[in-house]
Amino acid sequence: MGSFERGIIQSLARSDKWSLGGAGPVLFAPSFPAALSRPGFWDPAQYYRHAIGPLFTLDLLDLAGDPIELSVMKRRWNPAYVITEYQSPGGLKLSERKVVLPSGALVSEVRFECDRSLDVVLAAWTVQPDEGWAYVMSGCVAIPRRLSAPAGASDTVWLALTMGPGVPQPTIVPSESGMQVPNWRHCALWETRTTTDHAPAQGGGFWHAGLRLGLSVSARGPVIANVAMSLAAAPALAAAEAARCVRADAHAIDESLGAWEDHFAGVPRFDCSDEHIRSYYWYRWSALRLQTQAPGEGWLGRPVVCEGSGYFRRAISYSLPAHVREMRWMCSPDAALHELTAFFDAQEPGGRFPGIVDIEGPRPEAFYHADWGGAVLDLLAVHPDPAFSSRAHHCLSRYAAWLTHERDPDGSGLYTVENHYETGQEYSRRYLAVDPEADREHWGRRFDLKGVDATVYAYTLYIALERLAASLGFDAEAEKWRDVAARIRNAVTTALWDPDAAMFFDVDPATGRRTGVAALTCFYPFLTDIPDASHRKALWQLFDPAKFWSRSPFPSLSMEDPLFDAEGRWKGRRMNCPWNGRTWPMSNSHIVDAIARQAWQMPELLPRAAAAFTKTLHVLFHAGDAQRPNAFEHYNPLNGRPSLYRGIDDYLHSWTVDLIMKHAVGLQPAMDGNLIVAPLPLGHEFVRIQGARISGCLVDIELDAGRVARLRVDGEPVEVAGIPAMVPLGVH
């Protein structure tokens, strides 16, 4: 790779992040870390979805075995590694670089420097519950950890810890008690140096295990030591990988950098005079790789992008369309195809897609209404694939049969929501309109509500099926899907549309009446071709400062609603996932797309669409600092503060890269092979993309002050007279 990709990695550097991942089985992203000032990885990591902690820490010892105090002087993060600089009172300097590799190894590369000769001991150690025999294997200490559910073929993960180069002294001590604080004097190894090949399980206690390595530091030059802990399903695999990472010729930092450079080389090169847009584009690509989970031996035999860390480290169907829309812009369609195919493989016999798929298997109780059809069409518009089109048509047909049978059995064209979890938007007054205790249950049937969002997703599903069938030559099938889509279109414009309030609303099927609850989902029909000029007046309500045009738009519920709460409280209690007023990037992605789509039919709305895009993007930064982008679940609409209390950053529940590509760059591909160039009037001095692969063509574009200054397709210049413009790819 070249210097460009390494420059991107360095441009993302900052001091207030700590998450590390290698698109493998291990993610280090503790929500509320307690030991970031300690060398090593003491805070928990995740092995697939399982939290494993503590991991290991490092201590520098004098020859009497007592710890040498270290003070943090500087700390810096980038996606490939974290570097922390320490200093001791005696002038010894320690620099640690930490990485998480694709293999599942966590590595600390430690560099020692001193202006005088000094003999010290480096200790790497851990404390783990006694859940099986512990071993010394190839210079590693290897300890088993039981998982709450099998991660594929095994319900155990082995933690192998080693250090080098050199021959470390291992120690394993069974103990009745454990510890949560990484304090060497509290560890049994402080007083014990006994070496054994194994230690039998006692049960109910803890293993205190570690290694010591003597080091001679002098003014002649730095001394480097490597420490690695590998997590794997078998002890031999874990030990071999840990040993590989600490050899004298091991270069874990270069390995991590190379993998990240490959990732950034696989997406279009982007630049923009707006520092926030440029920063967020590259940050978002780093978050997508951070949250990528390697295939395992269980259900998820393909790499997938997880929704986030913690509970969200799993494949979730509600966020899948967001991931597909972003990953379709990669030079290869493989990542997006893997995620869709993972759910196609997990489709239930009756046709339903599970809401959650772990490596252990689908969660049978979970189901989400999601925009399956829109995601598939968007992917195919960038990366046409007849074989995938055929599989998608088959799987989506089965899902459509289930959806109609279960959620619209009377053929009304409106689709039912049965609990507040399955929309991905729990704790909202939408549901109280049909059941005052709608929030009592999580999954399972609690109420019936004909939802605007569920119905729009059904419509895009049938539109996708119609287009897929037509592309495959299934004319009769295409006609059938077209008829169903027409029925839904009519239901949306008659049953959901309230002409007096100028708003689409959910419907109570028991009474046939609209609920009148002004949620942000009421605007989802504008994502489609359903509305006409008579409906577009509803969009102006989005820019009413009394309703949705807040400082950080757009709140999930109108600010005029009696249950609106900007601080995430529901019935007086702050909730994890409240949808009664918080600003959610997920729904904002829908709304920015909806406004932009309609604005090209209603030119007076174009400046508003540009303002919506800009304000929506700018909320995704700490205190507006362009060097500190973030991606939290939700934000306070009145002051823009993120949900720090959730402890989950890099949360992928929206499609910001896709918004940038469509509305800042202006690239809007269609399944018919045409490319529409239609950037919003954002007022930027310049926007540039190089190497966007669309329908097999390489597209480069440069905008100057909103005008297309240069456009090349496969290296050939293409003239663009105005905006919007249509470019037939392959005919240039």
Distances, alpha carbon 689 to alpha carbons 278, 372, 629, in Å: 11, 28, 21
pLDDT-based confidence at 448, cuts 50/70/90? very high
Predicted confidence at residue 732, as pLDDT, reads 42
Determine the Cα angle at 677 with ends 388 and 652, to 5°: 55
CATH match of 3-262 with 2.70.98.40: yes
Tokens coding 171:
């120690």
Residues 6+ apart with CB under 8 A from 97: 81, 82, 83, 108, 109, 111, 253
pLDDT-based confidence at 218, cuts 50/70/90? confident
- Res. 195: pLDDT tops 80: no
Pairing verdict, β 56-61 and 50-52: unpaired
If DSSP codes are grouped into helix, strand and coil, which group holds residue 78?
Answer: coil
- Residue located via tokens 């896709």: 658
Predicted confidence at residue 124, as pLDDT, reads 97
Same fold, 3-262 and 266-665: no
Least confident of 15-19, 442-446, 630-634: 442-446
How far, in Å, CA of 362 to CA of 368, rounded?
13
Query: Residue 103: which H helix or E strand, with range?
Result: none
Predicted confidence at residue 475, as pLDDT, reads 97
- Res. 200: pLDDT tops 80: no
DSSP output for 282-339: HHHHHHHHHTEE---SSS--S-EE-S-SGGG-SEETTTHHHHHHHHTTSSSSHHHHHH
Mean pLDDT of the region 596-625: 97
Domain-wise residue ranges, the chain: 3-262, 266-665, 675-728
Predicted confidence at residue 483, as pLDDT, reads 98
If DSSP codes are grouped into helix, strand and coil, which group holds residue 45?
Answer: strand
If DSSP codes are grouped into helix, strand and coil, which group holds residue 470?
Answer: helix
Q: pLDDT tens digits for 277-329? A: 999 999 999 999 999 999 987 778 899 999 999 999 999 999 999 999 999 99
Predicted confidence at residue 204, as pLDDT, reads 83
How far, in Å, CA of 251 to CA of 249, rounded?
6
CATH, domain range 266-665: 1.50.10.10
Question: Using H for helix, E for strand and C for coil, what is the string for 118-144?
Answer: EEEEEEEEEEEECCCCEEEECCEEEEE
b (16+ CB within 10 A) / e for 542-569: bbeeebbbbebbbbbbbbebeebbbebb
Predicted confidence at residue 152, as pLDDT, reads 65
Tokens coding 679:
């950037």
pLDDT-based confidence at 153, cuts 50/70/90? low
Predicted confidence at residue 731, as pLDDT, reads 55
Peptide bond into 165 cis (omega under 30): yes
Tokens coding 29:
């992203």
b (16+ CB within 10 A) / e for 604-617: ebbebbbbbbbbbb
Tokens coding 459:
């419509």
Least confident of 136-140, 417-421, 558-562, 704-708: 136-140
How far, in Å, CA of 320 to CA of 375, rounded?
8
Average pLDDT over the chain, rounded to an integer? 95
Q: Answer yes or no: are the C-beta atoms of 689 and 701 closer than 8 Å.
A: yes
Question: Residue 494's closest CA among 480, 508, 514, 511?
Answer: 514
The reported pTM is 0.96
Predicted confidence at residue 645, as pLDDT, reads 96
Residues 6+ apart with CB under 8 A from 69: 88, 89
Tokens coding 611:
């303002």
Residues 6+ apart with CB under 8 A from 648: 31, 308, 309, 310, 312, 632, 633
Q: pLDDT tens digits for 545-593? A: 999 999 999 999 999 999 999 999 999 999 999 999 999 999 999 999 9
Helices 3-11, 275-290: inter-axial angle, 10-degree rounding: 100
- Res. 356: pLDDT tops 70: yes
